[in-house]
Amino acid sequence: MKPSSRAVHAGRDLGARSPLAPDMSPASVHVFIDLDDYDAVARGEKPGYYYGRNSNANREMLERAVAELEGAEAGVATASGMAALHAAILALAPRPATILATRELYGGTAALLRQDLEPNGYEIHFLDLTDLDAVRRSVQGAGLVIAETITNPLCRVPDLEAIASMTRERGVPFLVDNTFATPLLCRPLELGATAVMHSATKYLGGHSDLVAGVVVGDTALIAAARARVARTGTPLGPFDAWLALRGLRTLDVRMRRHSENSLALARALHGMRGVVRVYHPLLEGGNRLLAQGSGGMIAFDLDGGREAVQQMIKRFQLVTFAASLGGVETTVSYPEITSHRSMSAEERAELGVGPGTVRVSVGIEDPDDIVADFAQALS
Ligand SMILES: Cc1ncc(COP(=O)(O)O)c(C=O)c1O
């Protein structure tokens, strides 16, 4: 099956009289009449569910679907993308180790590494993963490498395949945050990554109505992540899993439209008043890792800093300011006070994120309407 068809059907096993859309299963606990039967289900030797923190039908269906789309053996769905990251990192590097992470990392991930892992003995090095010589120099002795398929917010695309070949050679696990690209545009496991995580809050769900995360990888890794998620109490709830799976069914058509619209807006922004720089993964030509498009994420720098950004936001008629991304509607975010607020101004400046930097999550509206709203707001 092609990936677009897989998105429509993944994770389910329909038989005669099955519901076409999955039933909701909110039960926190299932009853048993046979102690051996319970024991076998709890050990995972028999199919079934016993307690909601450990397993649930809706969660399991989403996990299977994302694993199938990413080409993974298994997946575990968590209460948020951050919970997925935490579970993935600790499954890949359970004891204090050196973690190499992309310099241009989602601020929440950077905060997790610095505020939760560093005080527990992990050493964190941030580096530019598009500089392969720097990666080569640093990877020896590392315990984990973390990359984002498309960086947040400046939309750069590291060569995941080259990084994966370096990490594999040295036996270093490689975790990719594939939130911005989704498995329809990039499948990092096929490029050699060890595990992939998503904030399913974004494109997988796609409708700004849930918070969720998923980690996928091989069976042993996911068993370790799942056990930790159960112990720490961070699994995804049934209704959010149901919603995420419902969103996933239209992922292909949404990602195609996001990709077309983001390119149209990036091109149009170039000529708009006050726009000094536009960041889009494919604006300067194709990228072999994103052959089908790059989704809806772009960024631009506006002359006039925070005040100019504020004026633009006030004038929008269609676009809204919202500190998330990946929904059907076009939104802008201001990294200085949203995704990158945990960094100092100096750290942001080093990355190239300044007071005029705006991140756009380009939605699936008509591209003419999106471009017109930016044009009038910046005029
Ligand atoms: C690239 C990326 N990774 C992870 C996360 C964290 O996900 P969540 O907010 O679902 O915990 C986000 C959230 O913005 C993100 O943009």
The position carrying tokens 């109490």 is 233
Helix 81-92 vs helix 219-232: crossing angle, to nearest 10: 120
* Banded model confidence at residue 202, pLDDT cuts 50, 70, 90: very high
Average pLDDT score over residue span 348-375: 96
Average pLDDT score over residue span 288-305: 96
Q: pLDDT over 90 for what percent of the chain?
A: 93
Task: Specify whether the CB–CB gap between 289 and 161 falls below 8 A.
Answer: yes
Atom of ligand 1 nearest to the CA of 82: 11
Strand segments (E) across the chain: 74-78, 98-102, 123-127, 144-148, 174-177, 195-199, 213-217, 275-279, 297-302, 320-321, 331-333, 357-361
Distance 81 CA to ligand 1 centre (A): 5
Task: Give 138-178 as a DSSP string.
Answer: HHTT-SEEEEESS-TTT-----HHHHHHHHHHTT--EEEE-
Average pLDDT score over residue span 253-258: 98
Average pLDDT score over residue span 252-271: 97
* Banded model confidence at residue 197, pLDDT cuts 50, 70, 90: very high
Q: Is the CB of 333 under 6 A from ligand 1?
A: no
CA dihedral 300→177→283→342, nearest 10 degrees, is: 10
> At 251, which helix (H) or strand (E)?
helix 251-269
Task: Specify whether the CB–CB gap between 353 and 335 falls below 8 A.
Answer: yes
Q: Is the CB of 82 under 6 A from ligand 1?
A: yes
pLDDT value at residue 285: 85
Q: Is the CB of 107 under 6 A from ligand 1?
A: no
> Residue 314 catalytic?
no
Query: How far is the C-alpha of 53 from the C-alpha of 10, rounded, in Å?
Result: 23
Q: What is the pLDDT of residues 85-130, one digit of tens each?
A: 999 999 999 999 999 999 988 989 999 999 999 999 999 999 999 9
Nearest CA to ligand 1 atom 10: 81
Of 233, 174, 211, nearest in space to 53 by CA: 233
Average pLDDT score over residue span 134-140: 96
Q: Is 196 helix (H, G, I), strand (E, B) or coil?
A: strand
**pLDDT at residue 347 tops 90:** no
Average pLDDT score over residue span 75-81: 98
Q: Is the CB of 335 under 6 A from ligand 1?
A: no
> Residue 177 catalytic?
yes
Active-site choice (64, 103, 177, 257): 177
Distance 199 CA to ligand 1 centre (A): 5
- Vertex 182: Cα angle to 234 and 265 (nearest 5): 125
Residue 162: how many other CB atoms lie within 10 Å: 15
**pLDDT at residue 351 tops 90:** no
Q: What is the pLDDT of residues 154-183, one digit of tens each?
A: 999 999 999 999 999 999 999 999 999 999
* Banded model confidence at residue 339, pLDDT cuts 50, 70, 90: confident
Average pLDDT score over residue span 205-212: 98
Q: Is the CB of 80 under 6 A from ligand 1?
A: yes
Atom of ligand 1 nearest to the CA of 201: 10
pLDDT value at residue 284: 85
pLDDT value at residue 107: 87
Average pLDDT score over residue span 299-313: 97
Q: What is the mean pLDDT of the chain?
A: 96
Q: What is the pLDDT of residues 11-43, one digit of tens each?
A: 999 999 999 999 999 999 999 999 999 999 999
Active-site choice (12, 49, 51, 53): 53
Q: pLDDT over 70 for what percent of the chain?
A: 100
Would you state the structure tokens that stand for residue 6, as one six-digit string?
């897989």
Mutation test residue for ligand 1: of 89, 177, 179, 337, the one with most atoms within 8 Å of CB:
179
Query: How far is the C-alpha of 62 from the C-alpha of 70, rounded, in Å?
Result: 12
**pLDDT at residue 286 tops 90:** no
For the entire predicted model, the pTM comes to 0.97
Average pLDDT score over residue span 320-329: 96
